[in-house]
Structure 1
């Protein structure tokens, strides 16, 4: 892979059931499995799915009007079956309002198309989930 296409994070254990992911720019997020307020990996996946399309839709619409409200709900069912544990019924719902007037009308018109274009072509996260891609796990030195 080239530096242009490679994306990466480093995950370090910070305690029992707690981890910090750090990106190459120095940003970090804590997550875990302890049942406290930290996000779980599944919640991070949901946030990534919704966040990716939210960014695309926001860029396309806010050129015309600043939203009065811009929220995205993402949900799904965590199941365990013959395929192991996985998510089903993933759904992303946008809750967006724009101000009255010509600029708001234009943004409202653009929003459905921006969401569809993101879902169908632009959002790397949901595109990867829907298309499926192998994940390789290795243990260094093993």
Structure 2
């Protein structure tokens, strides 16, 4: 694998149940365990799924016209069973409207295909979740 393929974030504890993730470009996002208003890790996973496919679809459709409204809702159920904690029944729902006219008609026409292509080929996040990619965990000596 090349250096260009590497993606990296660092997560630091800021206080009890509170964390900050920092990407390689210096961007940060705070999150927590659900005691406050911050996103939880599960909510960040849902946002990542929705954000990834939303970005793909936006690139395809906004070439024709700006949407009048563009909302993606991602849902799922957090369960704890013999397999441990996990999410089930993940669903991504698009609600997109385009203005009237020829450019809006073109955007509306390609919307279903753009959503399908994102899901089937382009969205790295949902493709990784669906593939069931193993996660290696280690503890480094300090």
TM-score (norm 1): 0.98
Deviation at 1:3, TM superposition (A): 1.2
* Corresponding pairs, count: 142
Where does residue 50 of structure 2 map in the other structure?
Answer: 50
Matches for 1:71-82 after TM superposition, within 5 Å? 71-82=71-82
The gaps in structure 1 that reach 5 residues or longer are none
Give the Cα–Cα distance (whole angstroms) in 2 for the partners of residues 6 and 89 of structure 1: 30
Give the Cα–Cα distance (whole angstroms) in 2 for the partners of residues 125 and 41 of structure 1: 14
Where does residue 40 of structure 1 map in the other structure?
Answer: 40
Q: Indicate yes or no: 2:31 matched with 1:7.
A: no
Give the Cα–Cα distance (whole angstroms) in 1 for the partners of residues 81 and 16 of structure 2: 28
Give the Cα–Cα distance (whole angstroms) in 2 for the partners of residues 34 and 97 of structure 1: 33
TM-score (norm 2): 0.98
Deviation at 1:34, TM superposition (A): 4.3
Give the Cα–Cα distance (whole angstroms) in 1 for the partners of residues 35 and 70 of structure 2: 28
Where does residue 92 of structure 2 map in the other structure?
Answer: 92
Is the 8 Å Cα contact of residues 53 and 119 (structure 1) preserved in structure 2? Answer: yes
Provide closer, same or farther for how the CA distance between residues 125 and 32 of structure 1 changes in structure 2, counting only shifts above 3 A: same
The gaps in structure 2 that reach 5 residues or longer are none
Secondary structure in structure 2 of the residue aligned to 1:4: helix
Q: Indicate yes or no: 2:93 matched with 1:63.
A: no
Give the Cα–Cα distance (whole angstroms) in 1 for the partners of residues 3 and 39 of structure 2: 29
Secondary structure in structure 1 of the residue aligned to 2:67: coil
